[in-house]
Amino acid sequence: MSERTEPSQQQTGRTAAHDSAFLRACRREPVPHTPVWFMRQAGRSLPEYRKVREGIPMLESCMRPDLVTEITLQPVRRHNVDAAIFFSDIVVPLKAIGVDLDIKPGVGPVVAQPIRTRADLDRLRALDPSDVPYVTEAIGLLTAELGTTPLIGFAGAPFTLASYLVEGGPSRNHEHTKALMYGDPELWADLLDRLADITAAFLKIQIEAGASAVQLFDSWVGALAPADYRRSVMPASTKVFDAVAGLGVPRIHFGVGTGELLGLMGEAGADVVGVDWRIPMDEAVRRVGPGKALQGNLDPAVLFAGREAVETKAQEVLDAAADLEGHVFNLGHGVLPTTDPDALTRLVEYVHERTAR
Ligand code: CP3
């Protein structure tokens, strides 16, 4: 008897989304229009988000499949974006393996006991699917609701996770993190390798539950010089991409302030490289090299400038991206919390209309 008599839920979800504009662009295939989604589209810019989150702490909301499903769907309903992004946070897998941390409103993730010694590292154990049953359950609910709209899973990249763990919270200069990286390369390599395993496991769980693509957020990696990135960070990020390479979903790689790192980020192994707003897409593609799709890159602050300016700047992005093998339109970083949601809806409409073929 065949082991697979009926298609599993994840196969159904991915099959339905397979020909979506978003997944086609990631695979560098022809598209009916340039697909659009926004980093941080699910969140505080939406009044319906603030309403369902009332009185519920951020981490608790990530552990409730009903809430995760509702919040993930809100921007899809409202903006007609081409993909949903799973509502969670990069620190959720760390919390799930017992790291004492919280997400403080207006601050970000705060870690009670920062990791700076070998003994601290020993506290970081491997992630097992049974640590995050709410993730598997929420993705099952979501793929059933989303139909042909793909769901993007995500995780924090080893460097960005290490920065929160070593600093103990958000940091401007990453001085403790860099002190460990430069001062104790062996402990640093072991920390990043451990985080790579946790991140890879978290992405696999999401893909096996039905996510159609994954994004690795290396938000703060732009703080590094290229040689340090290559030596001390890239091996861990590559390990993550390699671990999910055979699972048949596009892998997106994003960081902020990464103009000088784009070539190496391309080499690290993703299928799609995210670009922030500081580099035009035609220059970004020269730096990344052939064989990759690009994602980006409207400055999120442009959305505060009024309709005409938004359209002018969005058109500049589209023009600069005209010759790419694959383009996923996005902002150059996450939606800012005070953004007018209608400006986002109009931007989706604009990109769809201007690129319809
Ligand atoms: O993109 C989405 O819509 C999906 C949800 C998502 C969240 N965080 C929800 C969230 C994603 C993809 C993330 C990733 C994340 N979290 C990153 C990488 C992306 C980036 O912005 O560079 C980082 C660095 C974090 C860590 C983190 N979590 C920060 C810096 C903050 C903001 C703190 C604040 O209040 O200003 C969070 C909290 C967080 N994560 C919120 C949301 C919607 C806000 C919490 C709230 O609404 O109370």
Once rounded to an integer, what is the mean pLDDT over residues 192-218?
Answer: 98
Q: What confidence tens digit (pLDDT) does each residue in 122-175 have?
A: 999 999 999 999 999 999 999 999 999 999 999 999 999 999 999 999 999 999
- Cα(125)–Cα(114) distance, integer angstroms: 15
Instruction: Pick the residue whose CA is nearest to atom 41 on ligand 1.
Output: 43
Token readout for 143 is 């793929």
Name which of 84, 216, 198 is nearest 141 in CA terms. 84
Query: Which residue shows structure tokens 């340090």?
Result: 228
Q: What are phi and psi of 12, to 5 degrees?
A: -60, -50
344 phi and psi angles, rounded to 5 deg: -70, -45
Among all chains, which residue has been given the structure tokens 């996005």? 330
Reply yes or no on whether 120 is catalytic: no
What's phi and psi for 302, nearest 5 deg? -60, -30
pTM of the model: 0.96
Task: Assess whether pLDDT exceeds 90 at residue 65.
Answer: yes
The pick from 41, 103, 160, 256 for probing ligand 1's pocket by mutation, whose C-beta has the most ligand atoms within 8 angstroms, reads 103
Query: Residue 15: which pLDDT band, with cuts at 50, 70 and 90?
Result: confident
Q: What is the pLDDT of residue 5?
A: 38
DSSP assignment of 190-253 equals HHHHHHHHHHHHHHHHHHHHT-SEEEEE-TTGGGS-HHHHHHHTHHHHHHHHHHTGGGSS-EEE
State how far the Cα of 121 lies from the Cα of 27, in Å rounded to an integer.
38
Question: Which protein residue has the closest C-alpha to ligand 1 atom 22?
Answer: 219
Q: Provide, rounded to the nearest whole percent, the portion of the chain with pLDDT above 70.
A: 96
Q: Which two tokens stand for residue 12?
A: 């159904």
Q: Strand 101-104 and strand 108-111: pairing?
A: antiparallel
pLDDT of res. 3: 40
Rounded-to-10 torsion of CA 146, 275, 136, 14: 50
Q: What is the pLDDT of residue 9?
A: 54
86 is written with which tokens? Answer: 């799973």
Report the mean per-residue pLDDT for the chain. Answer: 96
Tell me which residue of 253, 311, 221, 325 sits closest to 282, measured CA to CA.
Answer: 325
Structure tokens at 171: 């940091």
* 67/276 Cα distance (integer angstroms): 30
Q: What is the pLDDT of residue 12?
A: 60
- Domains of the chain (ranges, CATH numbers): 9-355 (3.20.20.210)
Q: Contact, 213 vs 152, CB < 8 A?
A: yes
Out of 24, 28, 82, 89, pick the active-site residue.
Answer: 89
**Confidence (pLDDT) at 8:** 55
CB 207 within 8 A of CB 153: yes
What is the predicted pLDDT for the residue at 1? 34
pLDDT in tens, 252-299: 999 999 999 999 999 999 999 999 999 999 999 999 999 999 999 999
CA-CA distance, 135 to 137, in Å (whole number)? 5
Q: Please report where in the chains the tokens 């990020």 appear, as a residue.
A: 237
Find the catalytic residue in 53, 64, 230, 278. 53
- What is the model's pLDDT at position 14? 79
- Categorize the per-residue pLDDT at 4 as very low, low, confident or very high, splitting at 50, 70 and 90: very low
164 is an annotated ligand-binding site residue: yes
Task: Encode pLDDT of 272-282 as tens digits.
Answer: 999 999 999 99
Single-letter amino acid, residue 213: A
- Among the options 40, 64, 230, 231, which is catalytic? 40
Residue 10: pLDDT band with limits 50, 70, 90: low
Cβ–Cβ under 8 Å, residues 252 and 213 = yes
- Kindly state the tokens that stand for 57: 């702490």
Q: How confident is the model at residue 305 (pLDDT cuts 50, 70, 90)?
A: very high
| Ligand 1 nearest-atom number relative to CA 62 | 9
Catalytic, 40? Answer yes
* Mean per-residue pLDDT, 227-235: 98
Report the 3 state secondary structure along 66-78.
HHHHHHHHHHHHH
The strand ranges marked E within the chain are 84-85, 101-104, 108-111, 151-156, 213-217, 251-254, 272-274, 293-298, 327-331
